[in-house]
Amino acid sequence: MTLGQALLSFALVVGLLTIIPGLDTALVIRGTVARGRSYGFAALLGIQVGTLIWGAAAATGAAALLAASEVGYRVLSYAGAAYLVYLGATMIAKTFRRGADPSAEAVTPSRGRARSGFLLGLVTNITNPKVGVFYMATIPQFVPAGQSPLLVGLLLALVHCVLGTVWLGAIILGANRLAPRLRSTRVIRWMDRITGGVLMLFGARLALDVR
């Protein structure tokens, strides 16, 4: 298998996974509608930086060490699960506060929105060890003989990032186009409740999978 064939084959695998709606999709849609396009793209950037970190970890064997260490894997899994549950619960709780106007988030300073979105995407991604385990299980299969595992691992992660950026970028642009119609207190409250529920569900599932 040549390097070109490896990249193409990997692109087909992660391409199918990318278009399946999941946590990343929920985060960028909610963020874009509630806080604007800059927040959505900042969250997307954080997600992709996290993807590259996991790709490098898998390529250098760090992800394998994590998978081999039951204690390390459990700690990271439970930390990620707790973060997601906390994030979801906080999001839902805000919708029941009297006088709270979630639609006002869109007028916060753009620099603050971008920083918040980036950190949300990054932390959500790197605290999910299942991403690292997925990379550890797949990347070695696509490393051609004689090629540098680190270089190929980073290239494969970059392919994943490109596909994810194109797909989620299109979703962000679509959500931003619809945002003026959706950016009302009532709609955003229900969106926060649904997104918060999704976050808590992912967190609970992550915790249960460790057991």
Which pLDDT value is given to residue 167? Answer: 94
Q: How is residue 44 written in tokens?
A: 């997307």
* Three-state DSSP class for residue 128: coil
Nearest alpha carbon to residue 27 among 119, 160, 133: 119
The verdict on pTM exceeding 0.95 is no
pLDDT in tens, the chain (211 residues): 788 888 888 898 888 888 887 888 888 988 888 888 889 999 999 999 988 888 877 777 655 555 556 666 677 677 777 877 888 888 788 878 765 555 555 545 566 678 888 988 898 888 776 777 777 777 777 878 777 777 888 888 889 999 999 999 999 999 888 877 776 777 778 877 887 887 788 778 777 766 5
Task: Pick left, alpha or beta for residue 2 (phi over 0 → left; psi -120 to 50 → alpha; otherwise beta).
Answer: beta
CA-to-CA distance for 18 and 167, rounded, in angstroms? 7
Which pLDDT value is given to residue 107? Answer: 47
